[in-house]
Amino acid sequence: MERLHHDDLPWAGPYIILARLAPESDQAVPERRFIGRSADGDRTFLVRRPLPGTDPARWAIEAESARRLSTAGFLPVEEVGVTGDLPWCTTPYVPAISLPAAMRAHGGPLPEPAVRALAAALAGTLATAHAHGVTHAGLSPGAVLLTTEGPRLSCFGAVRAAAPDGELRGGLPGLDSGSLAPEQASGGRPRPLGDVYALGAVLARASTGHTVPESGELPVSLRAVISACLSRDPARRPQAHEVLAHLGTGAGAAPYTLSTAHPRTALDATAPIPLPGAVVAALAHQSAQVLAAELSPSPALD
């Protein structure tokens, strides 16, 4: 967490903004994230706002769409509003750290068991969303939040919010080019197989430190499935439920093959992720900072 910047609004509707979450200096995130509380001090929220340079009206539309989502695994949106012509949305606060921040806390790529569990959780979330006709369209390492309740996907609709369909998206504010499927980067409408490409990029980042690794850098047990997700040809990528089914086989280094298994027969995507101790400590430290900020009328945050 860090103090508010001079250009940060101290309010979002009726909520007081206490502080920023740690900045994502090395990872594109298509939103700004803050800690806020209700005026009576009884409730704490994660407050999100669009980055400068994005279309605030489109961002607000996507935030409202996220509010109506009921798919487990997405960061829930409780309220959407506008203050000073700037839209915002709120999520009930739980300690949360982005994937890049978790890797910084750990000092490098996450252990293979943690990445494998993360892969199952994210694939399960995407499979459920895709089965209901919902495309995330903004998955990237910075969109993945590790929380005390499991991983959550944020930044829903970030690609659509950043540019209308048909426009090139490379270089736009907050978009991670390494996570954009080629067909999306060139302006194609976001589709589920674009989410699968982004999933591969997220898992590559978690396990190697960057989104476009050489195949030999990837963990043996995840090499085949991550490589398949990162295929430039959408037709060669697996569906999200096929990724989950593959992970559920426990096959490790087995060659990737398409499977028609139903997601519920695969690895339980709700299983806890074995986070490294340094990441757990970072979540606890954040929680303590938030508590101290709530108790102090003039919070002093490092």
The pLDDT, as a whole number, for residue 249 is 56
The pLDDT, as a whole number, for residue 30 is 80
Residue 56's closest CA among 190, 162, 210, 206?
A: 162
- CB contact at 8 A, 247 and 119: yes
Distance (Å, rounded) from C-alpha 242 to C-alpha 237?
10
Length, in residues, of the chain: 302
Domain extents in the chain:
11-95+278-290, 97-265
The pLDDT, as a whole number, for residue 215 is 82
Tokens matching residue 86: 């700037």
Phi and psi at residue 289, in whole multiples of 5°?
Answer: -60, -45
Distance (Å, rounded) from C-alpha 150 to C-alpha 96?
9
Q: Where are the beta strands (DSSP E) in 93-209?
A: 96-98, 144-147, 150-153
Number of other CB atoms surrounding residue 227 within 10 Å: 15
The one-letter amino acid at 278: A
Q: What is the pTM of this model?
A: 0.88
Q: Which CATH number fits domain 11-95+278-290: 3.30.360.10, 3.30.70.360, 1.10.3470.10, 3.30.200.20?
A: 3.30.200.20
Distance (Å, rounded) from C-alpha 156 to C-alpha 153?
7
**CATH top-level class of 97-265:** mainly alpha
Q: What is the mean pLDDT for each group of 10 consecutive residues in the chain (302 residues)? A: 86 93 67 92 93 89 92 93 93 94 96 95 96 94 92 92 82 85 90 97 96 88 96 97 84 34 38 86 94 59 44
Cα 17 to Cα 22, 45, 46, 64: the distances in Å are 14, 9, 9, 21
